Amino acid sequence: MATDVEYRDRPPIDAYYVSDAPDVTEACRLFRRFTVGVGCRLTLTAPAGVTEVDVGVGELEEIAVEVTSEEGDIEPQATFEFTESNGAVAVTGTPVAMGKGLKMKAWVPERFCSVDVSADGAAVKVKSVIEASLRVHSGGGAVSLGTVRASDAEVHTGG
């Protein structure tokens, strides 16, 4: 049985509030948090091998991003670069070898945060974009949208 300390070090992502989660770099999991304000933007570029991109609602002034692998280590399959500049957070994945079972999950403020997702065949889910822009290019994957009251929206499934 895990002790409390072990549990706090590696809880499953759904077991805590995103703001309580530590930044994590493990072989099968990457997790980063960024403090943002009104007018922020999240850009996710998912490489081949990512099967699912899920953008949910998180904290008011924070963007959080998690990459997980169900097929072992992430690094042999893809590399991910996390950048932040003036309220814009970008996560860019580059394929290294054909992998499968990679998933990207992000949490954004419910309002005033633009979302831009580009996926190479992955299924894309976006829970909410309100009073900001939405762009989704799934490259053939399914697209599911929740509440969207975007200032402008563009959705391409490519398949």
Task: Render pLDDT for 31-42 as a digit per residue (tens, 0 to 9).
Answer: 999 999 999 999
Residue 159: the pLDDT is 65
Instruction: Express each pLDDT in 21-74 by its tens digit.
Output: 556 666 788 999 999 999 999 999 999 889 999 999 999 999 999 999 887 788
Q: What is the mean pLDDT of the chain?
A: 84
* pLDDT tens, residue by residue, 79-130: 899 999 999 999 999 988 776 789 999 999 999 999 999 998 999 999 999 9
pTM: 0.82
Determine phi and psi for 133, rounding to 5 degrees.
-95, 155
Residue 74 CA to its chain's centroid (Å) = 15
Is residue 138 within 8 Å of residue 119, measured between CB atoms?
yes
Of 103, 132, 94, 131, the closest CA to residue 115 belongs to 132
